């Protein structure tokens, strides 16, 4: 049985990951409405990743005989006025998720829950990649977003992104 504080934080993380999926679907909708289907695709795949992250936490808890508590998922409340608002909100959200995972890791470390720490190692690495991807997208938009032809090319590039399910072995 896992420590109660760690269990509570893991349960909260499930909700945060599902909220992340909702948020990214909302961002995808924003770009779809703007006619930027490549950007919409990029964020829809982000949503798929977040949903799978939630399910990894869910399965980990079940595998460790912990009760999973599913809370209501808040409706995204961001209002985006320009494309860059979406990208910056995406980065800020990834930084928030990183902090949350670090907090779980710290709680697991405090009680010497090495199994949970090992499980979280994948997420720590994944969050580094997520933040890098979000920053790279902001950089590309800053470089190319104001020119319609370049924005079109960036949109085309983002339309080629395909979903790959995580390959994390849970114990």
pLDDT averaged over every residue in the chain? 95
d(CA 34, CA 151): 12
Residue 5 in contact with residue 107, Cβ under 8 Å?
yes
pTM exceeds 0.75: yes
- Left if phi > 0, otherwise alpha if psi is -120 to 50, otherwise beta: which for 113? beta
Query: For domain 4-159, which CATH number applies: 2.60.40.10, 1.10.3720.10, 3.40.50.300, 1.20.1260.10?
Result: 1.20.1260.10
Residue 165 has pLDDT above 90, yes or no: no
14-21 average pLDDT score = 98
Q: Specify the 3-state DSSP secondary structure of 166.
A: coil
Q: What is the pLDDT of residues 62-97, one digit of tens each?
A: 999 999 999 999 999 989 999 999 999 999 999 999
Strands in the chain per DSSP E: none
How do residues 46-63 score in pLDDT, each as one tens digit? 999 999 999 999 999 999
Q: What is the DSSP-derived secondary structure letter of residue 82?
A: S
Asked if pLDDT for residue 103 goes beyond 60, the answer is: yes
């Amino acid at each position: 049985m896992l420590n109660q504080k760690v269990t509570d934080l893991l349960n909260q993380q499930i909700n945060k990951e599902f909220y992340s999926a909702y948020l990214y679907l909302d961002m995808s909708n924003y770009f779809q409405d703007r006619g930027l289907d490549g950007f919409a695709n990029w964020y829809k795949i982000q949503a798929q990743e977040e949903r799978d992250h939630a399910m990894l936490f869910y399965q980990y808890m079940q595998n460790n005989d912990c009760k999973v508590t599913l809370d209501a998922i808040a409706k995204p409340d961001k209002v985006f006025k320009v494309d860059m608002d979406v990208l910056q909100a995406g980065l800020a959200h990834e930084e928030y998720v990183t902090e949350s995972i670090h907090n779980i890791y710290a709680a697991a470390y405090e009680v010497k829950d090495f199994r949970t720490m090992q499980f979280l190692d994948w997420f720590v690495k994944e969050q580094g990649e997520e933040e890098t991807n979000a920053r790279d997208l902001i950089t590309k938009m800053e470089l190319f977003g104001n020119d319609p032809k370049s924005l079109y090319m960036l949109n085309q590039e983002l339309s080629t992104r395909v979903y790959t399910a995580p390959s994390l072995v849970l114990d």
